[in-house]
Structure 1
Amino acid sequence: MPTYEMGQWLLVMCHRTQQPSPDYLVAAFPTDEIREAYLSIASERAEQEVRHILRAFVGHSRSLGSFDRLQVLSIEALRKEQGREATKNGWSPRFTEYEIRALNHLSGTSSTPTWEGLTWALDLLPHAPQKAIDVIHAYMYAHAQVLPDLRISGLTDAAELIRTRYILQGSASIETLLELILNLDSRDFEYLVAHLYEVLGYDTEVTPAQKDYGKDVIARKINETVFIECKNWQGHVGVKVISDLAGRVSMEQATRGIVIGTSGFTEGPATATEIASRWPSRISLLDGIELIKLMNQHLGSEWHRRVERIIQSERSRQDRRPK
C-alpha cells in the first residue's frame, strides 16, 4: 500500500518524478488529508500545476481495462439474450455508444478508445468554470452505471478543484473584488450586471439612465421578465428601493424583481430584508458577495482582469439594440 506526502505527490502529478509504484494513485486525490490541504491552497498554486492535476483526474482517451472487459462480458450476455428476443419479436437490440465502442474494440473491428477523453472540458477554463463542471457532471450522469469507483472519485475531485480554484477563490480576494465594483461608475455597473444575466441565458436591456422607472436592467426569457435594480452604493439599501420595485413588478406584471446592493441591505423589523421577505416569489435581494460568487461561477474567477472589456462590449451591444 503506497504512502503519500503532498510534496512528493505533486512532483508525480507534474511529471517531475516517476510514480513510486504502479498502484500509486494519480487519478484522484489519494487521501482526504491531501484533498483538504490542496483545496485550501488551490488559489495560490501555479496554473500549470492545477491543470496537470485536472488532466489526470478527468482522464484521457483510453482503451479497455480489466473493469471494461468485465462490463463487455455482461454486454455480450445481454446482446445474446436480446438477440433471442429480437428473433422472436422482430426488433433489433439497442446499445449505448459506450457499449458499441467496448464491443467493437474487443472484437478488433475498431481502434476507437472505449473511454473517450474529457480533457477538452479544460478548454472552458478559466472563463467558464461552471460549464466545465456541467460537462463533468453530464459525463458522470451518462456513464453512472459503468464508471469504476476510482473514476467517479477522480471526476468528483476535478469538479471540486475547478469550483474551488476558479469560482470560490480565484486570484483576487472578495474584499478586492468588492472594492473594484464599488469604484465602478453606476452606469458601468449596470452594463456589468446586464452582461452577467446575458450569460445566464436572458436577453437583457439596460434602461435609459434618466427614465428607468425603478428598473435599471430588464432581463427576459420565454415566459419570464425580470426587473433588476442596481444599487452600487457604499451604504446599505433601504426599504423604499425594495417597496418601489415590488410595486413596479406588480404594476407591469413582471415575473419577479431583483435588487442588487453591493454593500448589502438594512436588516431588522420594517427594513429592506424584512420587506423583501414578505414577497419571496416576487422580490430577491443580492448583495455584493453573492454577486461576486455568481460572476465567478459564470464569467470565470478572472473576470476582474477583463472587466473593462466586458463593460465596453456590453455597452456596444446595448447601443446596437433596436430603439
Structure 2
Amino acid sequence: MAIRFGSILERGLGSAFYCWVREPLEEGGERFRLEDPERFWQVSWSQRKYTEFALARYVKPRGMITVSLRSRETFRYGVFQLNARLPDWGPEGPMLWFGFEAEDLFGGGVAHFMLQGSTLKAFAGAWLIPLSLRLPAPGDLAAERHTYTVKVHRNIALWFIDFKLVAAVALVDSEQPLALHEGEPYSVGATQLRPGSSLAVLIDIDGGPIDREWVWDDLHPWSIRVLDGDEQPNLVLKLYRHSSEDLVEGLLRGPVVSHPIPAAGSEVEIALAADVAGDARVEACSLSGEWFELEELELRAGRPLRWRARVGAPFIRVAVEPRGEGRVKLAEAYVS
C-alpha cells in the first residue's frame, strides 16, 4: 500500500482519499457529510518551475467547521512524509492536522502534526487524552518548504522536520500521558493509550471562524508520500546534553547528562569514548518522570565503552562524571 504522486496522477485524488465535511445546522447542532475531495483540494499538473505547481490549494469554505481528507487505505507501522510550506493563518485561525489518524476524535489512535498559529505540535495516542508535545520547529514554516515526517513503529513514534528528529514518543498503555520534555533538541513523552498499528492518513482543516474561507496554498499530491513502515525502529542518535542543542561530544569539564533516548521495549546500544577516565551511569525514566539508575559503568580513558540491553522503560539517558577535564570523542545511541 502507498500514496504516491504517480498513482494519483493516473487515477485522481478520489482513488487515494475520501473527503467529509462537518457543518452547522440551521436548527442547531451539526452534521457530517461525504463530499468530493476535488471540490476542496484543487490541483493542477502544470508547473511554473519544477515542483511549483500552478494550482495547489486546499480550502475550507465559508460556513464549514471542518474539511477532512482521509486515505482510503490504512498503513501498518506507516511512514508519512510531506514537503510543503505551511499556512500562516494567525492565532485565531483553524487548526491544521496532518499525519496518521484512525478516525475522528482520535478514536483508534493518532500520530500526527498539528499547526495552530505559529505553534507546531506532535499528537500521539488515542482517545480521550492523546499526548500533545510542542515541537522545536523552524521560524519560517510559511515562507519556506520543509519536509515533515512521521514514522510509527510498534513501541515508538518519531517526528522529523527536514530529517532532524524533533519528537520521540513511547507508545505505551499507561494511566496518563507523560510530557517529559518539550523543545530543543527534541520533545519526548509517553502515551496514555497506544494507537493501533494500522492507521489512515488525515489532512484536516478544523475549527476557526466559519464566516470566512481558509486556504492552504502549497498542498499538492507531488509533495506527499505514505508507505508501510517497519515494526522496529532503526534510529541512530548523536547524544545531546539534556534540553540543549549542544552535543555530549566535545569538551568535558564536569558532570554531563544526556537528553532522553527512546526505548520502550527496544534494544538500545550506547557508545561512549573519552580521553579522560570517569564513571558513567545508565538511567531509566519512570512514568512519573522520575529517573533511576539501571547500571553503573567505568569509563576508561582512550577506550570505547559499549552498553547494550533491551529496555522496557519509556526512556533512558546517560550521565557521565569525569575525573578531570578532557574531551568526549564519541557519544551515540542506536535504537532498534
For normalisation by structure 2, the TM-score amounts to 0.24
Structure 1 or 2, whichever has the larger Rg, is 1
Larger helix fraction of residues? 1
Q: TM-score, normalised by structure 1?
A: 0.25
Higher RCO, Cα 8 Å, sep 6+: 2
